[in-house]
Amino acid sequence: MATRMGDFGVTDYTSLMALAPRSQNFLQELGLFGDFNTEYSDSRYGEFEREEKGFTAMHNVARGADRQFAGSESARKEIIEIPYATLDTSVKPSEVEAFREYGTEHAPASVSQLVNRKVAHVQRSHARYIRNVMYTALVNNRIHAVDAAGNQITTLAKNFSTLWNAPRQTGAINLTDAAVDPFDELEAQRQAISLLAGDDSDSYQMLYICNTAQFSALTGHPRVRAAYENYSSDQEPLRRRLGGDRINKFFTHKGVTVVEDVSGQIANTQGFLLPLGIEDMWQLRYAPAHTLDHVNQVSEGSYLFMVEGWRQVGVESEVAVAACLTRPELLCDFTVTL
């Protein structure tokens, strides 16, 4: 529902941002990000918290002796400025004059039709930007904050390992070596991550995310194929389309689910092993719009405003969002040779 904002000739169409179909965001589909780990701030800053659940070793005492007291959990909280991005457009009389509607030969375009097309473009752009924010957290281990030239804004692009003093794990896979099972290295790193996750974090699934070229090389490796070559028909995952009819493919072997990512954000030589299901490991924060009406108000996510003028109709949009990885030590960056 549109809301008129004072006497400024501005109409708030933010509610319409949620109505347009969004482009595929695979990290949301996987469950790294969702409503469960998304919060909306009432300022330009987001609050991120890292908690490590501990335990206190208990010992035996005589009845009536001094009692034992539990220790405290290890928790840290960081306040980070959420990067802010804008995207505006407009419709002018010259664009409407002598312009026909798409898909027709003679039907003239109207102002409302052109505005709707430009709004749809803005909505797609916001969805892609939010996707990039999430992939930057996964691939680059930092807050997404870049200028117009694509350079990092160092004051905002916080590195997670530096922020939490917790470096990521590293591993290497050589897929050109037919004699070495690539899942042996994945298994070694899986065990290392499980040890760091602790006993209280056992309800998770281990994922290895890579691009299409690496997925094909990994699942087609001779040592991997040999494990299944004697299975018959439908029970053979390498003889049918992995992942069913969806674009992204999945393959589970030795306790690790390999996931094909088709976003173009992951290079052939990169792979990421991580647990899915660790509470608060991934967090998403939104900040409110930069207007007088939205000061100290809880964020609504992406914003869209229509500015109606005498000579043009302006469309203004903005979003402030940050994705944070609070447990970087539970993720392993793999360097892969194809």
The pLDDT of residue 290 is above 90: yes
Report pLDDT for 144.
98
What does the pLDDT look like over 243-281, one tens digit per residue? 444 567 888 888 899 999 999 999 999 999 999 999 899
Q: Encoding tokens for residue 223?
A: 């040592």
In terms of Cα–Cα distance, which of 272, 250, 135, 270 is closest to 193? 272
Q: What is the pLDDT of residue 66?
A: 86
Res. 105 pLDDT band, cuts 50 70 90:
low
pLDDT at 1: 43
- The CB-based long-range contact list for 182-191 (8 Å cut-off, 24+ gap) reads 182/218, 182/221, 182/223, 182/224, 183/223, 183/224, 183/253, 183/254, 183/256, 185/334, 186/254, 186/256, 186/273, 187/254, 187/255, 187/256, 189/273, 189/332, 189/334, 190/255, 190/256, 190/273
Instruction: Please report which helix (H) or strand (E) contains residue 41, including its range.
Output: none
User: What is the average pLDDT across 162-180?
Assistant: 96
Q: Assess whether pLDDT exceeds 80 at residue 162.
A: yes
Mean pLDDT of 322-332: 97
- Rounded mean pLDDT of the chain? 84
Q: pLDDT tens digits, residue range 229-241?
A: 655 544 444 444 4
Residue 89's pLDDT band (boundaries 50, 70, 90)? confident
Q: How confident is the model over 93-98, as a mean pLDDT?
A: 58
* Confidence at residue 88, expressed as pLDDT on a 0 to 100 scale: 92
- Cβ atoms of residues 76 and 322 within 8 Å: no
Taking 60 as the threshold, does the pLDDT of residue 284 lie above it? yes
Q: Is the pLDDT of residue 82 over 60?
A: yes
φ/ψ bin of 98: left (φ > 0), alpha (ψ from -120 to 50), beta (otherwise): left
Phi, psi (rounded to 5 degrees) for 112: -65, -40
Any idea where the domains of the chain sit in the sequence?
Answer: 3-51+75-158+281-325, 168-279+329-337
> According to the model, what pLDDT value does residue 18 have?
59
By mean pLDDT, which of 86-90, 147-151, 263-267 is the weakest? 86-90
CB under 8 Å to 120, separation ≥6 — which residues?
20
Q: Strand 169-174 and strand 332-337: pairing? A: parallel
Q: CA–CA separation, 320 vs 287, rounded Å? A: 5
Which residues, 6 or more positions from 259, have their beta carbon under 8 angstroms from its beta carbon? 30, 207, 208, 209, 210, 215, 248, 249, 250
Find out whether 197 and 275 touch, Cβ atoms under 8 Å: yes
CB-side neighbour CA atoms (13 Å) of 40? 12
* pLDDT exceeds 70 at position 288: yes
Higher pLDDT, 69 or 295: 295
Whole-angstrom distance, CA of residue 208 vs CA of residue 333: 10
Q: Is the pLDDT of residue 310 over 80?
A: no
pTM of the model: 0.84
pLDDT of residue 107: 52
Q: What is the pLDDT of residues 174-218, one digit of tens each?
A: 999 999 999 999 999 999 999 998 765 557 899 999 999 999 999
Residue 75 has pLDDT above 90, yes or no: no
pLDDT computed for residue 309 by the predictor: 78
Q: How many CB atoms lie within 10 A of CB 258?
A: 24
Strand partners, 106: none
User: Does CATH number 3.30.1930 belong to domain 168-279+329-337?
Assistant: yes
Residue 100: pLDDT over 60: no
Q: Which segments of the chain does DSSP mark as H helices, in order?
A: 26-30, 93-96, 111-135, 160-164, 182-197, 212-219, 222-226
SS3 assignment, position 260: strand
